[in-house]
Copies of this chain bind each other. A is one copy, B any other.
Amino acid sequence: MQYIAPLAKLIEHFRALPGIGPKSAVRLAYHVLDMDAEKAKALAGAIMEAKEKIGFCTTCFNLSDRNPCEICASEKRDHTTICVVEQPQDVAAMERMHDYHGVYHVLHGALSPLEGIGPEKLRIRELLVRLQSSDVKEIIMATNPNVEGEATAMYIARLLKPMGLRVTRIAHGLPVGGDLEYADEVTLAKAMENRVEL
């Protein structure tokens, strides 16, 4: 036994976190032991508090400490436009843009038959229920620009089109500040295809 039991346990817990390798886990654990007692208590407290206070908004399924969440409850937001994203992190990314004033719907994943994630595991049914009781005009599919995200966008678009809704997909193209030389062919082809008049 290389480490004393409480330390070994802490290392194991850190090791289970994403992006934390064995060496980082040891480093973090020793750092915690080196912290002031109050700081360590505050860290543990923040973990507990976040878990206890944060739940899902039952309208958009974003993470929130109130229900409905701030965005769904806001009078300033355009409730006739719903942006559909995969994860709560994606809502944060959209909000960082400060340019979208509609509301959101968080699917909590993307369709992935290989991983056994079918439509029933996503919040798609909740989206359909939500659409029945509101006068939404446009649904913007902002799932990730990868195979799973595209499939999810297509799947939901096909469900919604018959309802007479406008369903759009965020554009593919070259990232701003990117380098044409290093763009992959698929992105470049999409950028050409979606070219706009100047």
Q: Is the interface of A mostly helix, strand, loop or mixed?
A: helix
Alpha-carbon distance between A65 and B65 when the two chains are bound, in angstroms: 38
Asked if A151 CB lies within 8 Å of chain B CBs, one says no
Identity of the chain B residue whose Cβ is nearest the Cβ of A31 in the assembled complex: B18
Size bin of chain A's contact surface: 35 or more
Chain B residues with CB under 8 Å of A92's CB are 2-3, 26
Copy count, this protein chain: 2
* A176: chain B residues within 8 A (beta carbon): none
Name A residues whose Cβ lies closer than 8 Å to a Cβ of B: 2-7, 9-10, 12-13, 16-20, 24, 26-33, 35, 37, 39-51, 53-54, 63-65, 70, 87-89, 92, 95-96
